[in-house]
A and B are shown apart, each in its own frame.
Chain A
Amino acid sequence: KAGVTQTPRYLIKTRGQQVTLSCSPISGHRSVSWYQQTPGQGLQFLFEYFSETQRNKGNFPGRFSGRQFSNSRSEMNVSTLELGDSALYLCASSGGGASSYNSPLHFGNGTRLTVT
């Protein structure tokens, strides 16, 4: 079974621009969540989608948004980029149904975003 795939692997953007990151979950997984990882803040939850609906949202500004398609693939968008948005963005899929807490997360290798 193929793992979680994230594209692109690396991205360099300028302040004020916007960016879209893509995530393809493991086949059959309907839950997709996104995380931001920085050396200072660690791994922080952005949002989770399940069957095309946002099920949960973390404490990030509205510049961070996402969506999920009917094939469970997900995209994350960050508008009006700031220097502080430089981070590793990780996507994870889960085979859990209505509840996610007892299912392992399967992570992709992330998109490294650098904002200059």
Chain B
Amino acid sequence: SQKIEQNSEALNIQEGKTATLTCNYTNYSPAYLQWYRQDPGRGPVFLLLIRENEKEKRKERLKVTFDTTLKQSLFHITASQPADSATYLCALYGQNFVFGPGTRLSVLP
């Protein structure tokens, strides 16, 4: 069956370090993969979209990679700040959007 997994439920890192979040999927062949940020009590906010023929995409301190052979996407936040603390969700489109369970990132000052 189709499945999306994100590496861990929670991740704690020190301010200034790089946070790396993982999204793995099985039984999908997505042409696109998206990443969202969700703060408590609010809806997810779109961050980045990467296409299957793009190895890497950057936006300010964010970087996403997409390896269709490994069926994996990595999401990096460089020079992390406490304001980056949130839950991060990856999403694929099969017949509709399917979201991973999310990783709750805490950046400690």
- The answer to whether B31 and A4 touch across the interface, beta carbons within 8 angstroms, is no
- The answer to whether B102 and A42 touch across the interface, beta carbons within 8 angstroms, is yes
Closest chain A residue to B30 by CB distance? A101
- The answer to whether A107 and B45 touch across the interface, beta carbons within 8 angstroms, is yes
User: What residues of A have a CB within 8 angstroms of the CB of B42 in the complex?
Assistant: 109-110
User: What residues of A have a CB within 8 angstroms of the CB of B41 in the complex?
Assistant: 109, 112
- The answer to whether B43 and A48 touch across the interface, beta carbons within 8 angstroms, is no
User: What residues of B have a CB within 8 angstroms of the CB of A109 in the complex?
Assistant: 41-43
- The answer to whether B43 and A45 touch across the interface, beta carbons within 8 angstroms, is no
Q: A101-B31, A106-B46 are in contact. Are A42 and B100 (CB under 8 A)?
A: yes
The answer for the CA separation of A82 and B22 in the assembled complex, in Å, is 35
Question: How many residues of A are counted as interface, with CB atoms below 8 angstroms from the partner's CB atoms?
Answer: 23
User: What residues of B have a CB within 8 angstroms of the CB of A108 in the complex?
Assistant: 43
Q: How far is the CB of A110 from chain B (nearest CB, A)?
A: 6
Interface SS majority for chain A: strand
The answer for the CA separation of A43 and B96 in the assembled complex, in Å, is 12
- The answer to whether B89 and A43 touch across the interface, beta carbons within 8 angstroms, is yes
The answer for the CA separation of A59 and B100 in the assembled complex, in Å, is 16
The answer for the CA separation of A4 and B42 in the assembled complex, in Å, is 12
- The answer to whether B43 and A92 touch across the interface, beta carbons within 8 angstroms, is yes
The answer for the CA separation of A41 and B89 in the assembled complex, in Å, is 13
Find residues 88-109 in chain A having any chain B CB closer than 8 Å to their own CB: 90, 92, 100-102, 104-109
Q: Hey, what's the 0/1 contact readout for B2-34 against A, CB within 8 Å counting as 1?
A: 000000000000000000000000000011101
Q: How far is the CB of A114 from chain B (nearest CB, A)?
A: 14
Q: A104-B49, A109-B41, A110-B43 are in contact. Are A45 and B31 (CB under 8 A)?
A: no
- With a 10 A CB-CB cut-off, give which of A43, A90, A100, A105 has the most chain B CB atoms: A43
Decide yes or no whether A33 CB sits under 8 A from chain B.
yes
| Residue from A45, A90, A104 in contact with B96 in the complex, judged by beta carbons closer than 8 Å | A45
Q: How far is the CB of A102 from chain B (nearest CB, A)?
A: 5
